[in-house]
């Protein structure tokens, strides 16, 4: 009893020492309990009561110490809960979404070679999403991108690609222009493992005097090696986009099977990752840029697709389901 009463508790460390001695799992009062079996039968009851009393005293004194410490801490004006027996709360940090990781990485690669980042609205007018980009009204090329229109005003739509930001940039800036346009885009497509009605693109635009196809190829080759590794090969296939001429799609060599053929590259050894081309002079003129003086190239890619290839994700829907078991796997990923 004396020991309990005279134990000095003036700080949290001493409080913990007190707790270990009188309250914790291996406290000395428990030792007394275990001696009960050696006590003569007629004294057992009295002994038990006495030890119990000690136990209560230890507990009450502990609480009194806590109250006193709290009062001192709060300057006596208020008390707050202080429970030294609680385990330390684990330090939970968040992680970046895989699409953010890939977008940041792409932006970083292009920023190092002088590109800046530009932004634009997700709700667009027909001019910026289509007409300025050389999709004439009623032209079949518009069918390439299933569009969500706003019913009350057919001039307004959700942008189907971030090329609309290229138009805005060319309208306001003078060449040289070197910019990247990441953003969310919308297409009226059924949701499946490979397609979604909402996804993300990154486009790039480079306009200056004497920009040629070699610049386009070397820039994108550099990008592919930075993103997928130095051994990555690229190939260009002719393609069609209304706003570029000539147009090409770029494939990268499949790093998963190294060209030997696997399910990811469908046994071809190549994966398509982006569309590109030399900006059509009509588009430059539409945006007020002298097409005799300036030329440029543009490219565009889907961030989901790149993230799927980079991290071997089989179903695009995982990116929007927010299942923490999926997302946690990217903690600290690059
Ligand atoms: N805007 C095109 C698309 O969404 C991609 C692209 C951009 C192609 C720039 C060529 C040049 O499909």
Residue among 147, 161, 247 whose CB has most ligand 1 atoms within 8 A, to mutate = 161
pLDDT of the residue at 75: 58
What's the average model confidence in pLDDT over 260-284?
91
pTM of the model: 0.72
Query: What percent of the chain has a predicted confidence (pLDDT) above 70?
Result: 97
Instruction: Determine the distance separating the centroid of ligand 1 and the alpha carbon of 80, expressed in angstroms.
Output: 60
* Cα→Cα distances 140→200, 247, 282, 316, Å: 24, 17, 18, 28
| Atom number of ligand 1 nearest to Cα 302 | 4
- Check pLDDT > 80 for residue 329: yes
pLDDT digits (tens, 9 = 90+) for 209-244: 999 999 999 999 999 999 999 999 999 999 999 999
pLDDT digits (tens, 9 = 90+) for 63-112: 999 888 887 766 554 555 677 788 887 777 788 999 999 999 999 999 99
The CB of 126 under 6 Å from ligand 1? The reply is no
Please list the residues that pair with 204 across neighbouring strands.
180, 299
pLDDT of the residue at 24: 87
Q: Are 274 and 301 in contact (CB under 8 A)?
A: yes
pLDDT of the residue at 74: 62
Between the two ends of the chain, the Cα-to-Cα distance in Å is 61
What confidence tier does 206 reach under pLDDT thresholds 50, 70, 90?
Answer: very high
pLDDT of the residue at 93: 79
Max mean pLDDT among 187-201, 254-268, 275-289 falls in: 275-289
Average per-residue pLDDT in the chain?
A: 90
In angstroms, rounded to a whole number, what is the distance separating the alpha carbons of residues 177 and 145?
A: 26
pLDDT of the residue at 80: 56
The CB of 162 under 6 Å from ligand 1? The reply is no
Contacts of 58 (CB under 8 A, 6+ apart): 4, 22, 23, 27, 29
Lowest model confidence (mean pLDDT) among 125-129, 166-170, 265-269: 265-269
What's the average model confidence in pLDDT over 272-296?
96
Two structure tokens written together for 92:
């939970």
- Check pLDDT > 90 for residue 186: yes
Two structure tokens written together for 308:
């799927």
- Check pLDDT > 70 for residue 199: yes
Give the helix ranges, DSSP H, for 178-323: 213-228, 281-286, 303-311, 318-321
Q: Shortest CA distance to 282 belongs to which of 270, 274, 291?
A: 291
More confident residue, 293 or 266: 293
| Atom number of ligand 1 nearest to Cα 185 | 4
pLDDT of the residue at 150: 78
């Amino acid at each position: 009893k004396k020991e309990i009463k005279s134990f000095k508790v003036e700080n949290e460390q001493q409080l913990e020492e007190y707790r270990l001695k009188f309250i914790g799992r291996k406290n000395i009062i428990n030792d007394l309990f275990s001696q009960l079996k050696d006590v003569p039968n007629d004294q057992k009851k009295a002994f038990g009561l006495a030890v119990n009393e000690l136990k209560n005293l230890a507990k009450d004194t502990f609480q009194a110490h806590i109250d006193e410490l709290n009062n001192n801490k709060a300057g006596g004006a208020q008390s707050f809960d202080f429970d030294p027996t609680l385990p330390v709360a684990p330090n939970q940090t968040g992680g970046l979404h895989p699409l953010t990781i890939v977008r940041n990485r792409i932006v970083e690669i292009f920023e190092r070679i002088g590109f800046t980042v530009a932004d634009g609205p997700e709700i667009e007018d027909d001019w910026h999403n289509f007409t300025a980009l050389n999709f004439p009204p009623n032209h079949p090329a518009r069918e390439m991108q299933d569009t969500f229109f706003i019913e009350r005003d057919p001039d307004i739509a959700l942008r189907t690609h971030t090329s609309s930001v290229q138009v805005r940039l060319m309208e306001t800036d003078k060449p040289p222009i070197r910019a990247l346009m990441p953003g969310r885009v919308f297409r009226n497509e059924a949701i499946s493992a490979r397609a979604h009605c909402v996804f993300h693109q990154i486009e790039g635009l480079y306009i200056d005097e004497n920009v040629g196809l070699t610049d386009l190829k070397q820039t994108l080759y550099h990008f592919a090696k930075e993103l997928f590794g130095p051994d990555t090969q690229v190939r260009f296939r002719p393609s069609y986009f209304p706003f570029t001429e000539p147009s090409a799609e770029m494939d990268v060599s499949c790093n998963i099977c190294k060209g030997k053929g696997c399910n990811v590259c469908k046994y071809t050894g190549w994966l398509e990752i982006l569309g590109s081309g030399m900006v059509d002079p009509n588009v430059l003129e539409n945006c007020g840029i002298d097409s005799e003086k300036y030329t440029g190239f543009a490219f565009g890619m889907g961030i989901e697709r790149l993230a799927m290839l980079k991290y071997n994700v089989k179903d695009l829907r995982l990116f929007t389901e927010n299942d923490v078991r999926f997302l946690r796997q990217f903690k600290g990923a690059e």
